[in-house]
Amino acid sequence: MLFGRRTKNPIQLPVKAVDKWVYTTCGYCSTGCSLDVGLDDKGAAITTRGVADADVNRGKLCLKGIYEFEVFRSLNRGRVPLIRKTRSDPFTETTWDETLNKTASEIQRIQGLYGRDSFAIVSTGQIYTEEFYTLGKLVRAVIGTNNYDGNTTLCMASAVSGYKRSFGSDGPPGCYDDFDQTNCLLAIGSNLPEQHPIIYYRLKEAYDRRHFPIIVVDPRVTLFAQMADIHLPVKPGTDLVLLNALAHVILTEGLADQNYIQAHTSGFEDFKKLVEAYNPEMAEKICGIPAKMIRKVARIYAEAGAAMTIWTMGINQSTHGSDGVVAINNLNLITGNIGKPGGTSLSITGQCNAMGTREFSSCSGLPGYRTLEKEEDRQFMADYWGVEASFFPQKRGMAETDIFPAIERGEIKGLWLIATNPMTSMPDTARIRKSFEQLEFLVVQDAYSDVETNEYAHVFFPASLWGEKEGVFTNTERRVNLVRKVMDPPGEAKPDLWIFTEMAKRFERGKEMTFSTTATEVFEEIKTLSKGRLCDYSEMSHDKIEKQRGIQWPCNTEHPKGNRRLYETGVFQHADGRAKLIPLPFVDNNECPDKEYPFWLNSGRLVEQWHTRTKTGKIGNLNKFSPTPFMEMNPRAAAKLGIAAMDYVRVHSRRDSAVVLVQLTERVAPDAVFIPMHYFNCINRLALGLLDPYSRQPAYKQSAVRIECLEDQEAAARENVAMRNY
């Protein structure tokens, strides 16, 4: 008997005539997959494939990587520099000279009139490290504004701040190889199968071999929660209480690693005193996880021998984001799970090069994890760049989330945006719009001219995209990987590196300095100044990186092939060499549901879309899965309000309202709804985004909303469609 497909027509994949493969690293998420782009004999990109001998992805790609070759021919790429006098004029096409000159003179005018810090610059986690470094040099040593930040404040700031508070420096200490060594994995606020599909694949491979317990903490029943051994549906914004309670059980039941605590940490007594108050019964009342379950999880974790925690935005995007990260570090320090195989605190990063900006962009300090607050660091960089140290500020300026309110207050008059789209990605759209309208000058530097922020720009710089230039990204496990140039950018679009060096020439200070103009020359500068630092690149080169399919820093004479883990010897970056155990009292300060606004509003991502959809919204094979703004809602809650599947409803928050299509699912609890972050004029019209006090990161994941049924479904459909930009 014949079974299945043999009697039917088998699926045929078209044979693609690839003439040449070019080595790159995926330009979407921070997993850092090695990916070859296939070119035909006319030089057109026609396919991609995962690189088989790359340790990160081992030949695999997720669907964004699979269709990445299509970005080169996507719609509405910026091709020509644009300029206009006022926001109400239409743009006219012009030359690079005119737009660069105009921008330089506007920066000088605004700084001259209102002071150096009245012109702000906000960048990204998505350009190359060489570009970040050059931008930092331009901003710190030439333009000299201290209001310089990146969209990483919306993303990784809490992780950075938590690592610094616990270990004395930024830098994720673990790696993907830890999945093969661990005996227990705790994942908090991370939906790995959708957001980092190939890290998930690495984890799943390890899990299928050895079946160690996986515990997922997420208020939503995500794909990750569905595969976990234990799912803890924590009450939104209360992870800190759960983590304190886990530490309470571990200490009271004598499960802590006292030798590690004594040898490598400080602050134990104060920490112990605080967690004494967080017994599981008290914690249950706040975080909603049964006391019995808290005890069980604490025992599994502490007795595993090697246990690790990963986390992403469910922790970082919270009013206690930084504290949440420190609490994770506390947990791993008291169980001796830092710097050992399978024992770590591994923050899963977001954007392809969110790490590169942390290492070398000078956003929150100076390159190579140097800080503005330290005189020796200021002096070192001043000597290296050949400028006077007194030109540098002595502490970091505003974060992105403080820059916008400062624009509203009239303290900041000009803004340069590089590869970020805050009209869509910042919370409280109405306020962001108002800020944009108040600017005397806005320049937008983006690969796409239809990016929403461009509506408010005076000048538009068309930039090259991933694969249209060479440079490196650093991924979640500190692996520096290379993107070779696959093809030329469209029209007159230019690499960000070129734009920065051209800008430098238009300033007196810039003329006196040397700016390297190729990625390999810039990389040499980075290598030299990184020598001896934690993020040491000194033994790397572009060619060596390609050959090794990515190198994990530190890469120096001691570790010429890079090193998998940090803090293996238990020596940390604080002055006394110890990690800090920090007591973290929980303060309930979220906007919580009440009578008027009875639902928690949660937000996050979908596997097929990338952020504000400037890229994936134009790739049919990705956009087809979720073309329109929708909301996940529990069927029992919907029934009570008379809402059916596929109804359009209006969601109201205290800020604004938005119309979404209802998808009924038990993934969300009856008192919560979930809206993807990807659509313009949707979730962020509603989100409040209270800020974490340490990291200034917005709590995107917790606001309160109410839901209004709509009589006129046709009109609602029109309003819903108007919110999708493509």
Ligand X SMILES: Nc1nc2c(c(=O)[nH]1)N[C@H]1C(S)=C(S)[C@@H](COP(=O)(O)OP(=O)(O)OC[C@H]3O[C@@H](n4cnc5c(=O)[nH]c(N)nc54)[C@H](O)[C@@H]3O)O[C@H]1N2
Distance, in Å, from the CA atom of 391 to the CA atom of 379, rounded to the nearest integer, reads 10
Residue 158 · residue 315 · CB < 8 Å: yes
Task: Tell me the closest approach of the beta carbon of residue 616 to ligand X, in angstroms.
Answer: 8
Q: Is 219 in the site for ligand X (CB under 6 A)?
A: yes
What is the smallest separation between the CB atom of 271 and Mo ion, expressed in angstroms? Answer: 30
With CB under 5 to 8 Å by kind, the binding choice for 126 among ligand X, Mo ion, ligand SF4, none is ligand X
Residue 126 lies near ligand X (rule: CB under 6 A): yes
Cβ 419 to Mo ion shortest distance, Å: 13
Angle of helix 496-504 relative to helix 96-114, nearest 10 degrees? 60
Q: Among residues 147, 335, 401, 603, which is the contact residue for ligand X, using CB under 6 A?
A: 603
Of 241 and 387, the one with the shorter C-beta distance to ligand X is 241
User: Which residue carries 């920065």 as its tokens?
Assistant: 500
Comparing CB distances to ligand SF4, the nearer of 198 and 274 is: 198
Q: For the CB of residue 490, give the shortest distance to ligand X in the complex, in Å.
A: 13
Nearer to ligand SF4, 322 or 614 (CB): 614
Q: Which of 107, 127, 138, 155 binds Mo ion (CB under 5 A)?
A: 155
Which C-beta is closer to ligand X: that of 314 or that of 368?
Answer: 314
Interface pick for ligand SF4 out of 23, 24, 47, 64 (rule CB under 6 A): 64
Least Å from the CB of residue 476 to ligand SF4:
10
What span, in angstroms and rounded, lies between the C-alpha atoms of 334 and 265? Answer: 9
Q: Identify which range of 121-129, 325-333, 471-479, 710-718 contacts ligand X by CB under 6 A.
A: 121-129
Of 353, 364, 614, 681, the residue at the interface with ligand X (CB under 6 A) is 614
Judged by CB under 6 A, which of 26, 29, 120, 579 binds ligand X? 29
Cβ-contact 61, 69 below 8 angstroms: no
Please, which residue, 169 or 351, has the CB nearer to ligand X? Answer: 351
Both tokens assigned to 682: 């949707």
33 binds ligand SF4 (CB under 6 A): yes
CB burial readout 177-194, b (16+ within 10 A) else e: bbbbbbbbbbbbbbbbbb
336, 342, 350, 365: which one contacts ligand X (CB under 6 A)? 350
Report the distance separating Cα 93 and Cα 80, nearest Å: 6
By CB under 6 A, the residues from 426 to 455 that bind ligand X are 445-448, 451
Q: How far apart are CA 679 and CA 429, in angstroms?
A: 12
CA dihedral 74, 80, 85, 89 (to 10 degrees): -50
The answer to whether the Cα torsion of 716, 722, 723, 726 is positive or negative is positive
Of residues 465, 534, 579, 673, which one binds ligand X by CB under 6 A?
465
Structure tokens at 660: 């979404």
> Hey, which residues between 182 and 211 contact ligand SF4 (CB under 6 A)?
196-198
Closer residue to ligand SF4 (CB): 196 or 506: 196
CA separation for the pair 117, 125 (Å, rounded) = 22
Q: Is 76 left (phi over 0), alpha (psi -120 to 50) or beta?
A: left
- Comparing CB distances to Mo ion, the nearer of 126 and 563 is 126
CA distances from 382 to 366, 387, 441 (A): 10, 5, 30
Cα angle value 447/452/455 (rounded, 5°): 105
Interaction with ligand X in 233-262: which residues (CB under 6 A)?
A: 234, 236-237, 239
Cβ-proximal residue to ligand SF4, closest one: 65
Q: Which stretch binds Mo ion (CB under 5 A): 104-112, 151-159, 196-204, 713-721?
A: 151-159
496 near ligand X, judged by CB under 6 A: yes
DSSP-assigned states of every residue in 620-688: HHHHTTS-S-EEEE-HHHHHHHT--TT-EEEEE-SS-EEEEEEEE-TTS-TTEEEEETTSTTSHHHH--
Closest C-alpha to 215, from 294, 325, 324: 294
- Per the CB < 8 A criterion, the answer to whether 190 and 314 are in contact is yes
Of 178 and 647, which has the nearer Cβ to ligand SF4?
A: 178
Tokens 């969300």 correspond to: 668
Q: Report the 10 Å Cβ neighbour count for 106.
A: 20
- Tell me the closest approach of the beta carbon of residue 683 to ligand X, in angstroms: 4
Residue 528 DSSP SS3: helix
CB of 695 to ligand X, least distance (A): 12
Span of 49-57, 104-112, 348-356, 576-584 interacting with Mo ion by CB under 5 A: 348-356
Return the closest-CA partner of residue 723 out of 669, 685, 695: 685
Cβ proximity to ligand SF4: between 28 and 700 the closer is: 28
Structure-token match 């572009």, residue found: 542
Q: Do residues 342 and 181 lie in contact, with contact meaning Cβ atoms separated by under 8 Å?
A: yes
Decide if residue 28 touches ligand SF4 (CB under 6 A). yes
What is the rounded CA–CA span in Å between residue 643 and residue 713? Answer: 12
Q: Is residue 34 at the binding interface for ligand SF4, with CB under 6 A as the rule?
A: no
* Shortest distance, position 196 Cβ to ligand SF4, whole Å: 6
Stretch that binds ligand X, among 14-22, 358-366, 394-402, 608-616 (CB under 6 A): 608-616
Q: Checking DSSP bridges between strand 459-462 and strand 82-83, what pairing results, if any?
A: antiparallel
Residues 681-700 that bind ligand X (CB under 6 A): 683-684, 687, 700
29 lines the binding site for ligand SF4 (CB under 6 A) = yes
- Look at the chain and count its residues: 726
For ligand SF4, which residue of 37, 54, 62, 683 counts as binding (CB under 6 A)?
Answer: 62
Q: Closest CB to Mo ion among 141 and 155?
A: 155
Query: Is the CB of 124 or the CB of 435 nearer to ligand SF4?
Result: 124
Closest distance of CB 32 from ligand SF4, Å: 6
Please check whether residue 413 is in contact with residue 403, taking contact to mean a CB–CB distance below 8 angstroms.
no
Contact stretch for ligand X (CB under 6 A) within 183-191, 393-401, 519-527, 554-562: 183-191
Quick one: which of 60, 137, 165, 220 contacts ligand X (CB under 6 A)?
220
What DSSP character marks residue 439?
Answer: -
Rounded least distance, CB 192 to ligand X, Å: 6
Residue 158 binds ligand X (CB under 6 A): no
Q: Is 61 in the site for ligand SF4 (CB under 6 A)?
A: yes
Shortest distance, position 333 Cβ to ligand X, whole Å: 20
Among 197, 350, 397, 489, binds Mo ion (CB under 5 A): 350
> Closer CB to ligand X, residue 239 or residue 525?
239
Out of ligand SF4, ligand X, Mo ion, none, what residue 33 binds, judged by CB under 5 to 8 A for its kind, is ligand SF4
Sheet of 479-483: strand order equals: 471-474, 479-483, 551-552
- In angstroms, the CA 248 to CA 254 distance is 10
Give least dist CB 441 to ligand X, A.
18
Q: Which position among 313, 327, 486, 649 is part of the footprint of ligand X (CB under 6 A)?
A: 313
DSSP 489: P
Integer angstrom CA distances of residue 638 from 124, 222, 631, 703: 38, 20, 12, 19
655 scored as a contact of ligand X (CB under 6 A): no
Count of CA atoms in the C-beta half-sphere (13 A) of 166: 31
Q: Please, how many CA atoms are within 13 Å of residue 216, restricted to the half-sphere of its CB?
A: 18
Q: What residues line the site for ligand SF4 (CB under 6 A)?
A: 26, 28-29, 31-33, 57, 61-62, 64-65, 196-198
Q: What residues line the site for ligand X (CB under 6 A)?
A: 29, 124, 126-127, 151, 154-155, 188-191, 194-196, 217-220, 222, 234, 236-237, 239, 312-314, 317-318, 350-351, 418-422, 425, 445-448, 451, 463, 465-466, 496, 602-605, 607, 609-612, 614, 677, 683-684, 687, 700-701
Q: What residues line the site for Mo ion (CB under 5 A)?
A: 155, 350
